[in-house]
Amino acid sequence: MTSRKKGSVGSADKGDNSLPSVNELPPYTEKELRVLEIATQGFSLKATAALLGQSEDQVALESPEDWYVGREEGSGHIWHESIRALKDCAYTADSAEERARCKRALRKFWGKASKQYNDTQMDIH
């Protein structure tokens, strides 16, 4: 699996709710970078999934934690841990119902992250 530096999406010049800058993050995987390249253009989860030829669940699971977290003041670590727990649950929960609930939560958070990111971009312009 190859990786690239986070921030290739141009996140260093965003406002308070933007993704962290290049120097603050480990590299993204190719899949994560591709999701970010599309998502930061303003595409919804459904559109991003269609463009990638994947399900919404796959896109939500392959999205980097930073997409969900952005720049949460003082609580970034807790949000990263929460997203990791949801992703883990989506793969390993004992019941199909629990896995589905975790995926639903990730899709919901993905939509909120997209709205937050895109609202911030509109404020900048």
The alpha carbon of residue 18 and the mean position of all alpha carbons in its chain are separated, in whole angstroms, by: 12
Structural domain containing residue 112: 25-124
Give me the number of domains the chain comprises: 1
Residue 79 domain flag: yes
User: What ranges in 7-71 are assigned the alpha helix state H?
Assistant: 30-39, 45-52, 56-62, 65-69
Report DSSP state, residue 28. Answer: E
* Tokens describing residue 20: 């962290």
For residue range 52-87, what is the model confidence (pLDDT) as tens digits?
A: 999 999 999 999 988 888 765 555 688 888 999 999
Average pLDDT over residues 16-43: 76
What are the tens digits of pLDDT across the range 16-26? 455 555 455 55
Residue 3 in domain? no
Q: Establish if 20 belongs to a structural domain.
A: no
User: Model pTM greater than 0.95?
Assistant: no
Report pLDDT digits (tens) over 81-111. 899 999 999 999 999 999 999 999 999 999 9
Q: Going by C-beta distance under 8 Å and a sequence separation of 6 or more, which residues neighbour residue 33?
A: 4, 8, 9
Q: Does residue 18 lie in a domain region?
A: no
